Amino acid sequence: MPGSSLWLIPPPTHPLYPILSFLISQRLPLDFPSEAGAADARLIPEFFAPHMTLSSGISPDLYGDDPQRWLDSIPWPSADEVQVRFEGISSQDTYYRRCYARVKLDEGIKKIAGLARARGVNGEDDAKGAKTQEWLEWWRKEFGPHVSLMYGDVPISDDRLKEVAKVVEKAGVKLTEPVGDAEGNGWNGGVVWLVPTDRDIKDWKPIAKRVL
């Protein structure tokens, strides 16, 4: 994946952080080895921190040798404005979107993703810029906000996807929006990570962090 990316991570103290980490690194590769890339003994499943990608394709020239300063210069919304809420599980025929939990696209999610794209790629101040508005519409139609659960090359059938959903929900993740708040349906706020995603997936580590 070229360039760097901005991710939104659940708060480290939130109950979903260890649950999602366990699903990504252990439960799903064990129960679905083919889909998670673990069926071939020569391959190692891809493990990554639980996150919602805000934008990718960010040139390292933008933040130079002080990525923290650049990240802190962005006027991120408050934690109360950003509510990540799950809406189900989907699969696309793309390695990085092989299996993911869909996230509700509300105004708070549009604001933070649009801001990340505006500042990181489009050279605009915020999500109101023309290029960023066009990107938001494209993003919504193509795949929208999501939290990846498995990367891989093996297609996932509808029946298999239902099995994945059962495992995810049994672990404590609520995939349908309830009436009112429910533990496991998502999180508020979080931590923005700047990650050089032009490296191998095992080396996807943050070079700067910003708590909302």
CA 68 to chain centre: 20
**pLDDT number for residue 209:** 98
Phi/psi at 193 (nearest 5 deg)? Answer: -110, 140
Q: What is the pLDDT of residue 47?
A: 83
Q: What is Dmax (Cα atoms) for the chain?
A: 48
The DSSP code sequence of 21-86 is HHIIIIIHHHH-TTTTT-SSTT---------EEEEEEE-GGGTTT-HHHHHHTS-PPPGGG-EEEE
Give me the tens of pLDDT residue by residue for the chain, a chain 212 residues long: 679 999 999 999 999 999 999 999 999 988 998 887 655 544 455 689 999 999 999 999 999 999 999 999 999 999 999 999 999 999 998 888 999 999 999 999 999 999 999 999 999 999 999 999 999 999 999 989 999 999 988 889 999 999 999 999 999 999 976 555 556 899 999 999 999 999 988 899 999 999 99
Q: Which DSSP letter does residue 171 get?
A: T
The tally of CA atoms less than 13 A away on the side-chain side of residue 166 is 8
Instruction: Please confirm, yes or no, whether 14 is among the known catalytic residues.
Output: no
The helix (run of H) or strand (run of E) holding residue 53 is strand 52-58
- Supply 30's token pair: 């064990």
Domains of the chain: 4-211 (3.90.1140.10)
Distance, in Å, from the CA atom of 52 to the CA atom of 35, rounded to the nearest integer, reads 20
pTM: 0.92
- Cβ atoms of 158 and 146 within 8 Å: the answer is no
Closest CA to 45 of 89, 8, 98: 98
Q: Environment class of residue 61 by beta-carbon count within 10 Å: exposed (0-12), middle (13-18) or buried (19+)?
A: exposed
Residues 77, 131: Cα–Cα separation, whole Å:
20
The answer to whether 212 touches 192, Cβ cutoff 8 Å, is: yes
Choose the catalytic residue: 53, 146, 156, 192: 146
Beta-bridged to residue 90, according to DSSP, are 100
Q: Provide the pLDDT for residue 181.
A: 55
User: With b meaning 16 or more CB within 10 Å and e meaning fewer, what string describes 122-134?
Assistant: bebeebebeebbe
Which one of the listed residues 29, 46, 51, 151 is annotated catalytic? Answer: 51
Structure confidence at residue 41 (pLDDT): 44
pLDDT of residue 106: 94
Q: Strands, DSSP E only, in 59-120? A: 83-90, 99-103
Tell me the backbone φ, ψ of residue 62, rounded to 5 degrees: -70, -40
Element (H, E) at 70: helix 67-72
